[in-house]
């Protein structure tokens, strides 16, 4: 009677959230101190103090009631101009407020881009490993998903592999740097090579190939690594952003699509994004948090805890004999499963109350993803369990 595809999506939930729910139940049995939940990317560091200050100023000020009124469908123009100004200062983005379409987080931003661009028969390319929901968003927009693996070992963009997979049916490519789950940041050279490829193939096919750059982790990086401004590497880029991770506001649903002035047929692309937002009920991002976004764009939560956690986990796990990808950004660490079946490895960890998903749902078998956006004390307390796990697999510690 109902859509069976939708029912299944609703019944399953995403695997990280399923594991997270298991953790809650398990905590009730063995106590929260004995469950080590590395499942969900829910930021553990507080938002910058300015976030709640802005809210206080507004609800105590002369706009206290008016703030809750409708804004324009794309978001308040003054807010969009303020954000554009911040992007221009930080990245020399050269954009205007009118290029931004505010959304309730990155998920609707991606959905609006995909549905706005998608014509019958279109496909979108994703780079494995990729965030589980991309496939669902792509299929929800009526398109098909084409997977291309990242370069082995480095997890960077594999330009020859992308070239080999490009056909005129590929309307666009979704990339995500800093990457969930690998933690890798694409360097400028890698992105420029992608840009050159897409430009060349777009000319060959007679239609632009769009790059959809999903950037919720843009500011969550370590050791001062550069996160290049993607539209500078390729003009036909749509930037999808969320304030969820950089300023720890995942529940409030605030983000944007930027259609930069460099985009071919800019106005048609912007209108298509706005139209897709309209027909899925995604207009007028939450108004109070539009103001928060304007006031806090470019701010970053104190990332010290993530940095400490990253170093502690990476160093400890490699010392125990595990093989890990060193994260340059995000708060995820990808670790190779010591047995071929990473789901079995994740299950064995679960028996020690170490909760982290294998990356099968990211279309990347053989790994697990450890979300270390948790208090450092929890990482410290988890290490003996990881050591037990290493011993079970007979790993050779250093």
Which 272-291 positions form the footprint of its own copies (CB under 8 A)? 272-289
Q: How far is CA 267 from CA 108, 259, 271, 377, in A?
A: 20, 9, 6, 50
The position carrying tokens 């881009």 is 113
196 binds its own copies (CB under 8 A): no
Is residue 248 exposed (0-12), middle (13-18) or buried (19+ Cβ within 10 Å)? buried
β-pair partners for 242: 255
Closest CB 305 distance from its own copies, rounded Å? 13
300 binds its own copies (CB under 8 A): no
Cβ partners under 8 Å of residue 63, min gap 6: none
11 binds its own copies (CB under 8 A): yes
216 binds its own copies (CB under 8 A): no
**Number of residues located near its own copies, criterion CB under 8 A:** 83
The position carrying tokens 């590395």 is 38
Of the two residues 233 and 276, which places its CB atom closer to its own copies in the complex? 276
23 binds its own copies (CB under 8 A): no
Phi, psi for residue 194 in degrees, rounded to 5: -60, -45
Q: Judged by CB under 8 A, which of 22, 26, 50, 73 binds its own copies?
A: 73
**What is the distance in angstroms between the CA of the first residue and the CA of the last residue of the chain?**
59
β-pair partners for 149: 128
207 binds its own copies (CB under 8 A): yes
Task: List the alpha helices (DSSP H) in 60-132.
Answer: 77-91, 106-117
Of the two residues 68 and 200, which places its CB atom closer to its own copies in the complex? 68
Footprint of its own copies on residues 350-379 (CB under 8 A)?
none
Of the two residues 175 and 283, which places its CB atom closer to its own copies in the complex? 283
Footprint of its own copies on residues 243-272 (CB under 8 A)?
248-253, 264-265, 268-272
Of the two residues 6 and 196, which places its CB atom closer to its own copies in the complex? 6
Of the two residues 207 and 225, which places its CB atom closer to its own copies in the complex? 207
Of the two residues 39 and 370, which places its CB atom closer to its own copies in the complex? 39
Closest CB 78 distance from its own copies, rounded Å? 13
Q: Judged by CB under 8 A, which of 34, 56, 169, 375 binds its own copies?
A: 56
C-beta neighbour count of 13 within 10 angstroms: 12
Closest CB 214 distance from its own copies, rounded Å? 12
Footprint of its own copies on residues 94-153 (CB under 8 A)?
104-105, 107-111, 115-119, 133, 136-137, 139-140
Q: Judged by CB under 8 A, which of 32, 46, 121, 375 binds its own copies?
A: 46
Cβ partners under 8 Å of residue 185, min gap 6: 177, 178, 179, 221, 225, 226, 227, 328, 329
Look at the alpha carbons of 173, 179, 181, 184 in this order and tell me if their dihedral is positive or negative.
positive
176 binds its own copies (CB under 8 A): no
Task: Please work out, in degrees rounded to the nearest 5, the angle formed at the alpha carbon of residue 125 by the alpha carbons of 122 and 129.
Answer: 150
Q: Judged by CB under 8 A, which of 19, 35, 51, 333 binds its own copies?
A: 51
Of the two residues 212 and 389, which places its CB atom closer to its own copies in the complex? 212
Is residue 71 exposed (0-12), middle (13-18) or buried (19+ Cβ within 10 Å)? buried
């Amino acid at each position: 009677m109902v859509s069976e595809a939708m029912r299944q999506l609703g019944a399953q939930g995403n695997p990280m959230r399923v594991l997270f729910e298991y953790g809650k139940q398990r905590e009730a049995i063995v106590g929260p101190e004995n469950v080590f939940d590395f499942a969900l990317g829910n930021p553990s560091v507080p938002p910058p103090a300015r976030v709640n200050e802005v809210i206080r100023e507004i609800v105590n000020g002369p706009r206290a009631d008016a703030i809750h009124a409708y804004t324009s469908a794309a978001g308040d123009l003054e807010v969009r101009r303020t954000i554009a100004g911040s992007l221009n200062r930080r990245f020399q983005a050269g954009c205007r407020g009118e290029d931004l379409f505010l959304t309730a987080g990155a998920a609707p931003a991606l959905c609006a881009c995909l549905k706005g661009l998608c014509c019958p028969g279109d496909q979108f390319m994703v780079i494995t490993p990729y965030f589980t929901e991309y496939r669902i968003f792509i299929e929800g927009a009526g398109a098909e998903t084409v997977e291309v693996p990242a370069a082995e070992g480095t997890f960077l963009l594999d330009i020859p592999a992308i070239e080999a997979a490009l056909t005129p049916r590929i309307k666009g490519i979704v990339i995500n740097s800093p990457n969930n789950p690998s933690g890798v940041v694409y360097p400028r050279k890698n992105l420029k090579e992608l840009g050159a490829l897409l430009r060349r193939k777009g000319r060959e096919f007679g239609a632009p190939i769009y790059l959809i750059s999903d950037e919720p982790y843009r500011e969550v990086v370590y050791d001062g690594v550069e996160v290049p401004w993607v539209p500078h590497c390729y003009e036909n880029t749509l930037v999808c952003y969320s304030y969820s991770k950089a300023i720890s506001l995942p529940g409030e649903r605030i983000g944007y699509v930027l259609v930069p002035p460099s985009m071919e047929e800019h106005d048609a692309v912007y209108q298509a994004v706005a139209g897709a937002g309209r027909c899925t009920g995604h207009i007028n991002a939450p108004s109070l948090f539009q103001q928060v976004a304007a006031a806090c764009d470019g701010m970053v939560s104190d990332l010290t805890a993530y940095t400490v956690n990253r170093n502690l986990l990476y160093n400890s796990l490699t010392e125990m004999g595990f093989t890990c990808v060193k994260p340059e950004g995000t708060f995820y660490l990808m670790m190779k499963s010591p047995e071929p079946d990473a789901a079995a490895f994740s299950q064995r960890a679960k028996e020690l109350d170490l909760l982290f998903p294998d990356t099968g749902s990211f279309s990347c078998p053989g790994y697990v993803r450890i979300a270390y956006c948790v208090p450092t004390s929890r990482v410290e307390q988890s290490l003996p369990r990881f050591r037990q796990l290493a011993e079970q697999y007979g790993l050779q510690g250093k």
